[in-house]
Amino acid sequence: MVGYDSKEAELDALKSGEIDMVFHFDQSPNLAEEYRVACTNTTWTSNMMAVTNKQHFNENQTNRVAVPQNRLSLTRYLAVYYPQWEIVDCATPEDAAKLVKDGQADCFVTGVSSQENYSKKYDFYSVPLPNPAKSCFAVNSGNGILLSILNKTIKAMPANMLTGALAMYKSASRKVTLGEFIRDNFVMVLLGGSIFVAVILLAILKLLQKARKAEAAARKAANDTQELNAKLQIAAENAESANRAKSTFLFNMSHDIRTPMNAIIGYADLAARHSDDPAKLKKYMKNIQVCGQNLLMLLNNVLDLARIENDKTEMEYSVSDVEKDFRNCIAMFRNQADSKNQTLTVTTHLLHPYIYADIPHLTEVCTNLVSNAVKYTGTGGTIRCDVTQKPCEKAGWCDTVITVADNGIGMSQEFQQRIFEPFERERTSTVSKVEGSGIGMGIVKKLVGLMGGTVEVESKIGVGSTFTVTIPSRIASEEEAQAKREINPSDKKCLCGTRILLTEDNDLNAEIAAELLQEEGCTEERAKDGVECVDMLEKAANGTYQIILMDVQMPVMNGYDATRVIRRMGDPQKANIPIVAMTANAFSEDRQAALDAGMNDHIAKPIDMNILVSTLRKYL
């Protein structure tokens, strides 16, 4: 621990690397940015008092406040919370009290532990201020690891521990003298002295008993201190472990992102060089699409995990045709398995063909399991996928058991203990030659937990792995399943001649959307923001546009506000024109926000033409 004469010297030492952190730093707005430091969460707060000679004091009025020199923290506190006050400079706290006494200042500000001395000495009034002073630790802005460790250590410590310790320190440093105490409490001192003599006589007779109790209390205090130190040590180790995991994850993610990105850039360059060779051009474009889908899957996994950990994932149950949905999920990996000459089998043993399930999330669980099986099983390997139902004690329910087994590379016993932790990988893609971020199994574990189920793994290196997911499921009837089915018309509506108002601020996205729509026979006109979209619709004759594709995040006016303006138009035909959100805001709450704004539907970017075309047909 190093001491300094001023706050400026202390901050200079921090910037130069002479010290690692500042023990006391004010959490004033813009202060951290001004000194280019990073602040921890609030570690303690200090209640402030305005000491004044006025019986009726109003802190909201313009007051003259005496401030001793070198009290930078107090000056900033007043500038933030009481900018209307006029500062009167003085040399010491004692001088500040004299200025108030002489009427040259209306008040001075000090802590709770100090105000009592001045109130007694000068017969002042103490007025509590509603805004406490907040303090924290400060580190160099680039020292993220230390900042994270401090924040997690502070979080692990008992509430108000540092505040209490600071209050005790301040109280101890301002103890009244013996003479002052006797003068103010003469009767109590006299009475207490008499009682003290009597107590001492009794205490001598029980000295041994008290000594034993004191020893027991000391032992308990030592144990409590040791327990607290152990908790702090565990918190620090967890913080350090989390930082190591994050660093490892970022390292792996950097590699896993750069690999397909390098391929995309490389194939784009090759495509530009061989634009006159249709065969090569087609091959390069296909590879670029595959790499782009891999990048999108990686991004979606990261976002899914973040949403789950922030409790933003909600389960939405609907009737599922178990065998159909399971086989459709596995079918997505047929081509990938065939390219490695793998045998991919699907078996079902169902007691009830229909159940209630969160189909998208259950599909995501199966997708992660089967994707890993295909990736980590070599050429010519075998992958078995099975769904079985077992009776459940709860009436009207059954246990749906999904098993994915392979004869791939397998896992060590040590890694099986942490396979479901986010960002964990037994081997990097450089070693295993298999791309992956280590996120998928973490998502599987959390989603299965949200469904009230369990997931287990059995694996042996060189033999293979078996994952078993068990989910309690409510049984659905044939009538409930029939009610869900939609009758799809055999003749699909043609989009040729459909006039679309495309609202998109990004030129590249607009060009891509326009080309895709024109290939479907549509005619599009573009608006670059919400204001232009509203203006074009108002000026156009009725029936000019049949549907609006609306981006959400745009300058001038966003898609939500533009939709609300359109829905309030006086012309009913224009006010009721179908509006479909086409945006990179792809979560369920984004879809709901679009519907709440008055839009008819929602399509997430990147654009999937199968989804876009089917959506457009619904409203034509």
Q: How does residue 590 score in pLDDT terms, banded at 50, 70 and 90?
A: confident
Of the pLDDT bands very low, low, confident and very high (cuts 50, 70, 90), residue 304 is low
pLDDT at 300: 66
CATH number, domain at 104? 3.40.190.10
Q: 181, 74, 58, 197: which is closest to 130 by C-alpha?
A: 58
pLDDT of 545-568, one tens digit each? 999 999 999 999 999 999 999 999
Average pLDDT of span 359-383: 89
What pLDDT is attached to residue 181?
Answer: 62
Retrieve residue 231's tokens.
Answer: 């908790």
pLDDT confidence of 406, banded at 50, 70, 90? very high
Break the chain down into helix, strand, coil percent, rounded to 5. 50, 20, 30
| Predicted local distance difference test score (pLDDT) of residue 154 | 80
Residues 210 and 250 occupy one common structural domain: yes
Same domain? 157 vs 11: yes
| 25 and 130 belong to one structural domain | yes
Residue 520 lies in a domain: yes
Q: Look at residue 552 in the predicted model and tell me its pLDDT.
A: 92
- Considering only 392-401, 413-422, 460-469, which range has the smallest mean pLDDT? 413-422
Structure tokens at 90: 């003085």
Q: Are residues 305 and 322 in the same domain?
A: no
Relative orientation angle of helices 278-309 and 440-450, to the nearest 10 degrees = 50
- Closest C-alpha among 383, 391, 367, 384 to residue 443: 367
- Per-residue confidence at 487, pLDDT binned at 50, 70, 90? very low
Contacts of 24 (CB under 8 A, 6+ apart): 135
Distances (CA, A) of 408 to 321, 417, 418, 443, 474: 30, 19, 19, 22, 34
- Report the side by side order of strands in the sheet with 499-503: 523-527, 499-503, 547-550, 579-583, 601-604
Q: Are residues 92 and 211 in the same domain?
A: no
Task: Tell me what pLDDT residue 489 has.
Answer: 42
Q: What is the dihedral of CA 222, 227, 230, 232, to 10 degrees?
A: -100
Q: Position of tokens 């630790």?
A: 137
pLDDT of residue 401 exceeding 60: yes
For residues 468 and 183, the model is more confident at: 468
Residue 185 forms part of a structural domain? no
Q: Could you give the CA distance from residue 427 to residue 417 in angstroms, rounded to a whole number? A: 15
Single-letter amino acid code for the residue at 8: E
Q: Which letter, b or e, does each residue of 357-373 get, where b requires 16 or more Cβ atoms within 10 Å of its Cβ?
A: bbbebbbbbbbbbbbbb
Residue 243: give its domain's CATH number.
1.10.287.130
> Which range, of 65-74, 168-177, 323-332, 339-348, averages the lowest pLDDT?
168-177
Encode pLDDT of 351-365 as tens digits: 999 999 988 888 888
State residue 239's pLDDT score: 78
Q: Running DSSP on this structure, what letter comes out for residue 42?
A: -
Which residue has 């530009």 as its token pair?
A: 272
Residue 200 lies in a domain: no
Record the pTM: 0.45
Q: Does the N-terminal peptide bond of residue 606 adopt cis geometry, omega within 30 degrees of 0?
A: yes
Judged against a pLDDT cut of 80, whether residue 613 lies above it is answered with yes
- pLDDT band of residue 297 (cuts 50, 70, 90) is low
Q: Quick check: is 462 in a domain?
A: yes
Task: Read off the pLDDT of each residue in 100-128 and give the average, rounded to a whole number.
Answer: 84
Average pLDDT over residues 530-548: 94
543 in the same domain as 601? yes
Domain stop point among 172, 198, 218: 172
The domain that holds 572 is classified in CATH as: 3.40.50.2300
The CATH number linked to 424 is: 3.30.565.10
Q: Are residues 506 and 463 in the same domain?
A: no
95, two tokens: 């001088």
Query: Quick one: what percent of the chain has pLDDT higher than 90?
Result: 28
Residue pLDDT, tens place only, 45-85: 888 889 998 888 888 888 999 999 877 778 888 888 888 99
The confidence band for 431, taking pLDDT boundaries of 50, 70 and 90, is: very low
Nearest Cα residue to 347 out of 310, 317, 388, 311 = 388
- pLDDT for 331 equals 82
Among residues 291, 312, 333, the one where a domain terminates is 312
Mean pLDDT across the stretch 214-222?
85
For residue 190, is it within any domain? no
Residue of 36, 15, 91, 18 lying closest to 3 (CA atoms) = 18
How sure is the predictor about 105, in pLDDT bands with cuts at 50, 70 and 90? very high
Residues 424 and 323 in one domain: yes
Question: Which residues contact residue 465 at a Cβ distance below 8 angstroms, ignoring those fewer than 6 apart?
Answer: 373, 376, 405, 406, 408, 410, 411, 457, 458, 459
Last residue of a domain, one of 312, 343, 358: 312
The answer to whether residues 285 and 346 belong to one domain is no
Q: Same domain, yes or no, for 505 and 445?
A: no
Together in a domain, 246 and 324: no
In angstroms, the CA 56 to CA 62 distance is 14
State how many domains the chain has. Answer: 4
Look at residue 522 and give its three-state secondary structure.
coil
Report the candidate in 533, 413, 391 with the shortest Cα–Cα distance to residue 473. 391
Tell me the pLDDT tens digit for each residue of 323-336: 988 988 888 788 78
**210 and 73 within one domain:** no
CA 384 to chain centre: 37
- 493 inside domain: no
Q: Which two tokens stand for residue 400?
A: 């749906």
Nearest to residue 476, comparing CAs of 488, 487, 484?
484
Using an 8 Å Cβ cutoff, are 88 and 64 in contact? yes
Domain limits for position 533: 499-618
Residue 489 in domain: no
Q: Is residue 250 part of a domain?
A: yes
Radius of gyration of the chain, Cα coordinates, nearest whole angstrom = 35
pLDDT class of 189 with cuts at 50, 70, 90: confident
Helix 207-273 to helix 278-309 angle (10° resolution) is: 160
Indicate the range of 32-46, 448-462, 485-499, 595-609 predicted with least confidence.
Answer: 485-499
Q: Which of 76, 78, 141 is nearest to 108 (CA)?
A: 78
Place of tokens 């060189």: 462
- End-to-end CA gap in the chain: 74
